[in-house]
Amino acid sequence: MKLNKFLFAFFIILIFSLVFFIFSILLFMPTNTVGNSVPKIQNKSNNQIKNDENLNYKIINISKKHKATESYLKYPKFENDALNKNLYSHIQKIISDFESEYQHYEKDTQLKSPKLKLETDIGFFKDNIVSIRFFINRNYLGYPNPVKFYECYLFDLNTGNEINVFDLFEDYSYFLYNKSTEYFKNNYGISINKKSENYYDIAPKMENYTKIFIKNDFFEFLIFDYKKNEDVILRLKLEEINPFLKKIQQTKNTQDLTTFPKTIDDNKNNKFEQLQTTQQITEQTTQQTENPYNIDSNKPMIALTFDDGPNGKITNKILDILEENNSRATFFVVGRRLDKDAEVLKRMDKLGNQIGNHTFNHKNLAQLSKEQITFEIEKINEKLQNYIGKKSQIVRIPYGATNEVVLESVPYPIILWNVDTRDWESRNTDSIIKEIRKKAKDGSIILMHDLYETTAKACEIIIPELVKQGYQLVTIDELMKYRGIELKSGIKYYNATKK
């Protein structure tokens, strides 16, 4: 009995000490903060490096509910209120873009709880600069913005003002371009040249290399990996980029800043002029015959429309299919893609396809002022005039988002659709085909996007099929003309079915 009591006491002590041991381990373990704990202090003797030791910022970790979406945010709050305000305005923009996109596609999507997650990387540089990188993750698969992406900003810690990369660095674009080509060579064995499909994404222009992040002794930049279809981060040692740092001068040297962008614009203008003259000639010759494609107004017809391009290979593939099937379509192009795919745009036009205006930046026009809307509509027309010698006479509003201001400010007919393939959502060839087979009929306007391989593949099947069924695949102008519908500014058109 005595021994049993002793053993019992021994076990009690053992258990207590074990519990105490485990507890103390848990207590002293570093807290596992995902992503952005306060950066570790590194004892490096490079004077370019700013230790984070004395910088005071807090990490704000909150979730917010908006009208339809929720966001989970993790971002820093500094001692400088101006900086906080500038930083937060970027966050608000990211949230409101997500919210408005979701609102637009709400009817179509199955997703019940759209969530946005934003995390922040923070780095310090040169005593007074903070480098911020947001990693944004959205569980809602809406076009046009990707599911995962990054945004980068630099701020002056003293004034709180945002700093432009152009103010901080000399033109490092050739250097980063070479690093990017190395990346494609090493990872995929691809040699990038001017004819490569992603050349314009990584071409040696400063505009392609503004998403940067600097922390401790490294410099990171983002490029689009078209094989993975996502942004990737390429890392350099800070000392590799040091030669491009502008001399730290308190008096701002404006001369440096203006020379680089100016030369680029000059080149562009010359190019535009050349293109314009050649295109004007082709336009004159194509307008000679009244009905060059022998469209029969008594036979059924359908207008296929493709939004958000032009988009290199994929648009070209769709153009091939249309051409092979003696058919045409309407492409509602986005202005900021035109320089990148000018050749594709010209080919579109040359083959008799119609080019529609899908605005310059694909913004939600319902959130813009009259002046901003006019810019979005007219800026793209300037480019079209330069490339194909004519403006677009029809508009498709991004997200279909209109209000009174939008309708008043858009001096063109607004073309919508009555068959939505939802190709951006499904990215599934079979379901795109199924949707068209089910809903397309005489007078239909079908919505697709020349962004996805799956859409191009669906076209490969559905275009010859529709033609075989006796449909004439025509442009919006042709459809309306041969159905006797007169297009009027500020009016929405969904189809041209016979009454």
Contact positions with Ni ion (CB under 5 A) in 189-228? none
Least CB distance from residue 410 to Ni ion, whole Å? Answer: 15
Least CB distance from residue 144 to Ni ion, whole Å? Answer: 6
What's the CA gap between 325 and 123, in Å, rounded?
A: 55
Least CB distance from residue 395 to Ni ion, whole Å? Answer: 12
Binding track, positions 301-320, relative to Ni ion; x by CB under 5 A: ------xx------------
Instruction: Name the helix (H) or strand (E) containing 7.
Output: helix 2-28
Cα–Cα separations (whole angstroms), residue 183 to 40, 116, 229, 275: 29, 30, 15, 34
Catalytic, 201? Answer: no
Of residues 311 and 495, the one with the C-beta less far from Ni ion: 311
Return the range that interacts with Ni ion (CB under 5 A); candidates 246-254, 300-308, 345-353, 451-459. 300-308
Of residues 225 and 307, the one with the C-beta less far from Ni ion: 307
Which residues are bridge partners to 289 per DSSP?
Answer: none
Q: Which residues of 161-193 are buried (b: 16+ CB within 10 A; e: fewer)?
A: ebbebbebbebbbebbbebbbebbeeeeebebe
Of residues 119 and 308, the one with the C-beta less far from Ni ion: 308
Least CB distance from residue 309 to Ni ion, whole Å? Answer: 10
What's the CA gap between 116 and 147, in Å, rounded?
A: 9
Q: Enter the tokens of residue 377.
A: 């509509």
What's the CA gap between 134 and 218, in Å, rounded?
A: 17
What's the CA gap between 300 and 469, in Å, rounded?
A: 9
Give the contacts of 373 (CB within 8 A, at least 6 positions apart).
Answer: 365, 405, 406, 409, 410
Count CB atoms within 10 A of the CB of residue 38: 15
Cα–Cα separations (whole angstroms), residue 217 to 42, 55, 153, 236: 9, 17, 18, 9
Least CB distance from residue 113 to Ni ion, whole Å? Answer: 24
Of residues 51 and 402, the one with the C-beta less far from Ni ion: 402
Closest CA to 138 of 71, 78, 79: 71
Contact positions with Ni ion (CB under 5 A) in 31-60? none
Which is catalytic among the residues 104, 358, 362, 449? 449
Q: Please compute, for residue 170, the number of CA atoms within 13 A of its CA located in the half-sphere on the CB side.
A: 10
Task: Report angle CA 118, 119, 124 to the nearest 5 degrees.
Answer: 135
Q: Enter the tokens of residue 190.
A: 């691809």
DSSP, collapsed to helix, strand or coil, labels residue 180 as helix
Q: What is the residue type of 11?
A: F
Return the range that interacts with Ni ion (CB under 5 A); candidates 63-71, 246-254, 257-265, 395-403. 395-403
What's the CA gap between 245 and 159, in Å, rounded?
A: 20
Least CB distance from residue 348 to Ni ion, whole Å? Answer: 17
Of residues 305 and 495, the one with the C-beta less far from Ni ion: 305
Q: Enter the tokens of residue 496.
A: 């041209």
Of residues 308 and 435, the one with the C-beta less far from Ni ion: 308
Least CB distance from residue 396 to Ni ion, whole Å? Answer: 7
Least CB distance from residue 359 to Ni ion, whole Å? Answer: 9
Least CB distance from residue 424 to Ni ion, whole Å? Answer: 8
Return the range that interacts with Ni ion (CB under 5 A); candidates 3-11, 156-164, 390-398, 458-466. 390-398
Binding track, positions 2-21, relative to Ni ion; x by CB under 5 A: --------------------
Of residues 52 and 101, the one with the C-beta less far from Ni ion: 101
Of residues 307 and 478, the one with the C-beta less far from Ni ion: 307
Closest CA to 329 of 182, 496, 477, 465: 477
Contact yes or no for 42/49 (Cβ under 8 A): yes
DSSP, collapsed to helix, strand or coil, labels residue 462 as helix
Number of residues that bind Ni ion (CB under 5 A): 3
Catalytic, 449? Answer: yes
Least CB distance from residue 353 to Ni ion, whole Å? Answer: 17
Of residues 48 and 367, the one with the C-beta less far from Ni ion: 367
**Residue ranges with strand state E in 169-248:** 212-215, 218-225, 230-237
Contact yes or no for 117/138 (Cβ under 8 A): yes
Return the range that interacts with Ni ion (CB under 5 A); candidates 1-9, 393-401, 417-425, 482-490. 393-401
Binding track, positions 259-298, relative to Ni ion; x by CB under 5 A: ----------------------------------------
Which is catalytic among the residues 307, 308, 341, 450? 307
Of residues 225 and 308, the one with the C-beta less far from Ni ion: 308
Contact yes or no for 348/315 (Cβ under 8 A): yes
Return the range that interacts with Ni ion (CB under 5 A); candidates 159-167, 206-214, 391-399, 417-425. 391-399
Strand 70-78 to strand 57-65: parallel, antiparallel, or no bridges (unpaired)? antiparallel
Residue 450 binds to Ni ion (criterion: CB under 5 A): no
Binding track, positions 398-417, relative to Ni ion; x by CB under 5 A: x-------------------
Return the range that interacts with Ni ion (CB under 5 A); candidates 25-33, 199-207, 346-354, 394-402. 394-402
Q: Where are the alpha helices (DSSP H) in 106-219?
A: 165-168, 173-188, 199-202
What's the CA gap between 391 and 380, in Å, rounded?
A: 8
Catalytic residues: 307, 449
Summarize as ranges the residues that interact with Ni ion (CB under 5 A).
Answer: 307-308, 398
